[in-house]
Structure 1
Amino acid sequence: MSAVNCVALCWRIERRDGVAIGLTTHDRDLEVDGLIHRAAPGMTPSAIERSGGLDADTMDVRGGLSSAAIDEADLLAGRWDGARVTLFAADWDTGVVIAGLGEGRIGAVEVGEAGFTAELAGASGDLARPVVEDTSAECRAELGDRRCRVALGTRRRFARVLGVEGQEVTLDTAEPVAGAYAGGTLRWFGGANAGLTQAVDGSAGMRVMLRAPPAFAVVAGALVELVEGCDKSFATCHARFGNAANFRGEPHLPGIDLLTRYPGG
């Protein structure tokens, strides 16, 4: 049988939490590079746009929400956001990869009555990022990253959930200082939300206010990990973290309001 007659499209999808699945348009499961690619005939790619210049490579993948690995709830909850996707052609008779067709990360996801559409952006899309940063009064680093250098080991804490009401979560442990978790994150362990990380808008005592309600129902006693946040001001960086030397902003640089000042104003 010729290689042309044995071609099947395959996807390898690797989520940020380490979960990897394989899908194929063939009518039976295939094993490629040690990973079972489940038959998903409803999965179809759009035309792949690749460029020899600096334009970003793009592609859409459409499919029905019938796979046990990908369902509407997980898509809307964000489990697949930023997942790395590799598309290739394989010989369904031998399992040998014939050609790589593209790769990227899942961007915008739309869910409709007929299934879902996921937009993939290639690596060349990174070239669209600004070459240099704009000046700002606030810090442009993220707390704990390689530029900030604040050690987060002692600023991560585990707690149990006592109750959830909308976006407000009540914990069994109070925050170490006022507003400690504002701008930080809450990660769920166990239960339907396991593995999901949510942004924290504010905190007070034993309560934290999430930016959005939990995607799934929460059972009392669920374990969560809280990571402190930062309001990115120079005062907080200096007083609370003692990290003024690594502040990535220009708090004393005159702003545009300087041009509007006038004598006696």
Structure 2
Amino acid sequence: MNLAWLDLPLTTSCYAWRLERVDGVALGFVSHDRDLVIDNLLYRAAPGMVPSTIALSDNLEMDSVDIEGVMTSGAIAEADLIAGRWNGARLHISLINWESREEEPLHLISGEFGEITRSGAAFRVEMLGATSFLDEAIAPLTSPTCRARLGDRQCKASLVTHQTEITLTQVTGGELKFADLQGRAADYIYGELRWLSGENCGLSFAIINGEGNAIRLADQPAQPVFVGDRVLLTAGCDKNFATCRDRFQNSINFRGEPYLPGNDLLTRYPGA
């Protein structure tokens, strides 16, 4: 890696931020006083976006960094932060030579957005490093219910056959009603609703209840919903073996131990 430009007597470096939301939107910012084009992406000038101290190491400790800044860009709107559009977003921070774009940048850190807190017009983001997955359990714990998520690589069930694209026909209190659901709302309990149009387009919400043609979400959308909005409903699974076997015909991929004796077996004694 040729980083001779870092040894120049006059510094020409600045931070470059590339943000990638889970819905595919990509944004670029530089801590410089003018816009720059990097890899065919326009990086807007945002001098107020300054990262905290970044420590690079070769050990297995989790790399993390706090990001503080002012929402000077209209692309980072307060409404989007409240709605959750930035949850789980990916961020890449590099040090670049703004005077010559032919110089190889110095990659500093990449990670995923963690907790986002706001104070007035300012925001603070905790970024989780690539080693954060090491906090997870090495081996799964036994459980009578399935540990997989419907449609993931462990479950292997095809979500296409358990999804429905439908139009919202009525909003009553906290319930959303769909006339074309044909009374199958209960099939989507523990499932997911993803908005395909309207002010909440691209956002997903968990479904906690359903009856007839009405469903109820775990969290209400931050933006208003209107009759005529299109949604994608994904069926839910209660993670019980009987449901996996009878409804999804997927018992061969069930990731649980429904017949494993529990701790009560260990406490049994003669005459109990």
TM range (shorter): over 0.9
> Any unmatched runs of 5+ in structure 2?
none
Please give the alpha-carbon distance, in whole angstroms, between the structure 2 residues aligned to 1:16 and 1:25: 24
C-alpha root-mean-square deviation of aligned residues, in Å?
1.9
Q: Deviations over 1:3-49 (max 9, x none)?
A: 85211111001111111000111011111111110011111101113
Specify the code of the residue in structure 2 equivalent to 1:87.
I
Specify the code of the residue in structure 1 equivalent to 2:126.
E
Are 2:46 and 1:40 aligned?
Answer: yes
User: 2:178·2:213 contact (CA, 8 Å) conserved in 1?
Assistant: yes
Q: Alignment partner for residue 193 of structure 1, among 200, 206, 222? A: 200
The residue that corresponds to 2:137 in the other structure is 130
Q: Cα 1:219–1:3, aligned 2, differ >3 Å: closer, same or farther?
A: farther
The residue that corresponds to 2:230 in the other structure is 223
Q: Alignment partner for residue 82 of structure 2, among 68, 76, 84? A: 76
Please give the alpha-carbon distance, in whole angstroms, between the structure 2 residues aligned to 1:170 and 1:213: 14
Are 2:118 and 1:111 aligned?
Answer: yes
Q: Which moved more, 1:210-219 or 1:251-260?
A: 251-260
How many residue pairs are counted as aligned between the two chains? 265
Please give the alpha-carbon distance, in whole angstroms, between the structure 1 residues aligned to 2:95 and 2:115: 24
The residue that corresponds to 2:65 in the other structure is 59
What TM-score results when the alignment is normalised by the length of structure 1? 0.93
Q: CA deviation at 1:114?
A: 4.3
The residue that corresponds to 1:26 in the other structure is 32
The residue that corresponds to 2:91 in the other structure is 85
> Any unmatched runs of 5+ in structure 1?
none
Partner-residue secondary structure (3-state), 1:5: coil
1:142-157 alignment, distance < 5 Å: 142-157=149-164
The residue that corresponds to 2:176 in the other structure is 169
Q: CA deviation at 1:122?
A: 1.1
User: 1:88·1:97 contact (CA, 8 Å) conserved in 2?
Assistant: no
What TM-score results when the alignment is normalised by the length of structure 2? 0.91
Are 2:261 and 1:254 aligned?
Answer: yes
Partner-residue secondary structure (3-state), 1:28: coil
User: 1:234·1:247 contact (CA, 8 Å) conserved in 2?
Assistant: yes
Q: Cα 1:54–1:175, aligned 2, differ >3 Å: closer, same or farther?
A: farther
Please give the alpha-carbon distance, in whole angstroms, between the structure 2 residues aligned to 1:76 and 1:66: 17
Q: Alignment partner for residue 94 of structure 1, among 97, 100, 109? A: 100
Q: Deviations over 1:147-169 (max 9, x none)?
A: 21212212110111123345421
The residue that corresponds to 2:16 in the other structure is 10
Q: Which moved more, 1:84-93 or 1:96-105?
A: 96-105
Please give the alpha-carbon distance, in whole angstroms, between the structure 2 residues aligned to 1:114 and 1:48: 24
